[in-house]
Structure 1
Amino acid sequence: MAHRLLVCRIWTLSAKEIRCLPASSTAIASTSFSTSLQPSSSQVSFLSPSHGLPRSFTHTTRRQVSFNVQDNEDFTERVINSQLPVLIDFHAQWCGPCKILGPRLEKAVAKQKGRVAMAKVDIDDHTDLAIEYGVSAVPTVIAMRGGDVVDHFVGIKDDDELDSFVSKVIGK
């Protein structure tokens, strides 16, 4: 238990705090974290100056490729009034093919690097939108530009067909 607490404390210390640790703390850490396969004379601590401290992970922001439609106002604002072409993925939580198509479609949209947006509409939550756009089966994908439907498909498509569909929507 004491080792866990020591590990947690050392792991959360900043680089400046570790450099200021008393020699006794470094010695304890050195013996706790050394590898048992090396002879005791050549044991190395991850805290030793020659090895440096573990670097923190760089934070990369991932651009949001798609968004979930919240209500009719959100749909009007983010889909119908969008400056970009928008692919609308009508899906349902219980739909197996929807779970396959969704990630494939997001991947195809991500390849376009911001030239197209993707809205996800759960037909169980937004039945009125599904009825308004004539969705009779899921998954259904409708492409809109400037508030007008320009293309659509129903069912699963492979990656090449999705890439082609998205490119065609952007190029129209």
Structure 2
Amino acid sequence: MATRLLARRIWSVTVKDFRRLPVTVSASSSYSSSLTHSPRPQPLLSRSHSLPLISYRGVSFNVQDQDDFTERVINSDLPVVIDFHAQWCGPCKILGPRLEKAIAKQKGRVTMAKVDIDEHTDLAIEYGVSAVPTVIAMRGGDVIDQFVGIKDEDQLDSFVKKLIGQ
């Protein structure tokens, strides 16, 4: 315990000291030109370019409550993939983006609902979720298919295609 506290103190002092440094390292081609002195302190690892982020917004939504679930999932005109997950679940963090990518490939023919089991325990119990991640496919309010655990992209694509009838 004492070792952890000492490590935290060292880490916090080190981070604070780095934040005060007036040196910026940019992602340029030559090392000598990558260090620039600035009158104001800048972040130590400020990048001059950013990595592209792939976002699948609009493909999925978070379920807010039982009424929201009924309205947007059970009464939906589109087939719905329901991702029962938890914030603390490592496999859920891997599966979520893969599932969103598979849904996005269908270009609006299917949607995805995300249900956090810690916030909506009643829904998890109602649909028999005993482990996360659990994914359930629904069409017209009826459960078509489901699986538990991580799947690769090809398996997710076939799961979604089965739901929309391809």
TM-score range, shorter-chain basis? 0.5 to 0.7
Secondary structure in structure 2 of the residue aligned to 1:164: helix
Specify the alignment match of 1:158 in structure 2: 152
User: Could you list the runs of 4 or more consecutive aligned residues of structure 1 that deviate by over 3 angstroms after TM superposition?
Assistant: none
Query: How far off is 1:75 after superposition?
Result: 0.1
Secondary structure in structure 1 of the residue aligned to 2:70: helix
Q: How does 1:64-143 map to 2 (within 5 A)?
A: 64-143=58-137
Query: How far off is 1:126 after superposition?
Result: 0.1
Q: What is the TM-score of this pair, normalised by structure 2?
A: 0.66
Bigger Rg, structure 1 or 2: 1
1:14-54 per-residue CA deviation (whole Å, 9 max, x = no partner) reads xxxxxxxxxxxxxxxxxxxxxxxxxxxxxxxxxxxxxxxxx
Q: How does 1:15-94 map to 2 (within 5 A)?
A: 64-94=58-88
Query: How far off is 1:63 after superposition?
Result: 5.5
Secondary structure in structure 2 of the residue aligned to 1:70: coil
Secondary structure in structure 2 of the residue aligned to 1:142: strand
Distance 2:145 2:71 in 1: 20
Instruction: Please list every run of 5 or more consecutive structure 1 residues that lacks an aligned counterpart in the other structure.
Output: 1-61
1:98-156 per-residue CA deviation (whole Å, 9 max, x = no partner) reads 00000000000000000001000000000000000000000000000000101000000
What code does the residue aligned with 1:129 have? Answer: L
Distance 2:57 2:133 in 1: 24
Query: Whose strand proportion is higher, 1 or 2?
Result: 2
Specify the alignment match of 2:165 in structure 1: 171
Secondary structure in structure 2 of the residue aligned to 1:108: helix
Distance 1:85 1:64 in 2: 15
Distance 1:86 1:168 in 2: 12
Q: What is the TM-score of this pair, normalised by structure 1?
A: 0.63
Q: What's the C-alpha RMSD, in Å, of the aligned pairs?
A: 1.4
Paired residues, number: 112
